[in-house]
Amino acid sequence: MAVRGLRAGYAGGAPVLKGVNLDIREKTVTAIIGPSGCGKSTLIRCLNRMHEAIPGATADGEILFGGRNALELDPVVLRRAVGMVFQRPNPFPTMSIAQNVAAGLVLNGVHDRSVLAEAVEKSLRRAALWDEVKDKLDAPGVGLSGGQQQRLCIARALAVEPAVLLLDEPCSALDPIATGRIEELLLEIKETLTVVIVTHNMQQAARVSEYTVFMLMGEMVEYGLTRQMFTKPVDKRTEDYITGRFG
């Protein structure tokens, strides 16, 4: 996935993204860090065009995905290939655990029970949740703990077999143990798909990502190997941020 000159904003406000260029390498974990309001959430929400779900939101530029501009694709088609996990766990309240995981497939017209059951198990295993819920697949999804709910949401996103998984501060509502489990599973799933994670937690970026993007006031300041950025940052502003001098 590649971003070219992406500008985005909200109704009546100043632009939030002021021309971002970025190449996201396949089958790696890329972390986006930066202080509050720098546009990191807006950027990730542009990648599968969830940004547009907000009334009055605007975006122009290019997001190249599979050789085509994602901003000109049908958003529904794009979102099947580019899944998303949100800040707060949001399982569907009327559905059981299994129904939650299968929701994306069912809503896209898959009704074969054995196919669905297989997808549910596979996705829950990938999200490292299977062992905890295999005996209560018919229990309501909202009955799980916060960390389990978030892994359920990851399983739900994985079930439609996306090529890219976007996570928008997925651990901000979770305790350290639940956060640790999610970080572990990210390291596993990157074997099969591209992961982009927004985080306000630099240690998290250092732990899970191979590449890191540092954003500041709607612009991309630095982009490179995580290892390098956290040891020898090129830009003065990056250094200030990661050493805690501001932000």
Partner 1 sequence: MNEAYYARRKRVNALMFALTAVCAVISAGTLLAILAYIGWKGASAVSWSFLTKLPAPVGEPGGGIVNSIIGSAKVVGLAGLIGIPVGVLSGVYLAEYGRGKLAFAVRYAADVMNGVPSIVVGLFAYALIVHPMKKFSALSGAVALALIMVPIVLRNTEEFLRLVPGTIREAALALGVPRWKVTMMVIVPTAGRGILTGALLALARVAGETAPLIFTAFGNRFADDGLLNPIATLPHTIFTYAISPYEDWHNQAWAAALILMAFVLAVNVTARLWLRPRST
Burial status of residue 164 (CB atoms within 10 A of its CB: 0-12, 13-18, 19 or more): buried
Tokens found for residue 246: 């501001």
* Nearer to partner 1 (CB atom), residue 76 or residue 177: 76
- Check residue 141 for interaction with partner 1 (CB under 8 A): no
Terminal CA-CA length for the chain: 28
- Check residue 53 for interaction with partner 1 (CB under 8 A): yes
Q: 8 in helix, strand or coil?
A: strand
Separation CA 186–CA 178 (nearest Å): 13
Binders in 58-117 for partner 1, by CB under 8 A: 76-81, 83-84, 86, 88, 90-94, 103-104, 107-108
Binding residue (CB under 8 A) for partner 1 from 40, 126, 151, 156? 156
- Check residue 237 for interaction with partner 1 (CB under 8 A): no
Closest CA to 20 of 216, 210, 241, 211: 216
**Closest separation between CB of residue 208 and partner 1, Å?**
20
**Closest separation between CB of residue 207 and partner 1, Å?**
25
Binding residue (CB under 8 A) for partner 1 from 30, 41, 42, 48? 48
Tokens found for residue 11: 């109704």
**Measuring CA to CA, how many Å separate 192 from each of 55, 126, 200?**
34, 10, 25
Residues that bind partner 1 (CB under 8 A): 48, 50, 53, 55, 76-81, 83-84, 86, 88, 90-94, 103-104, 107-108, 142-143, 153, 156-157, 160
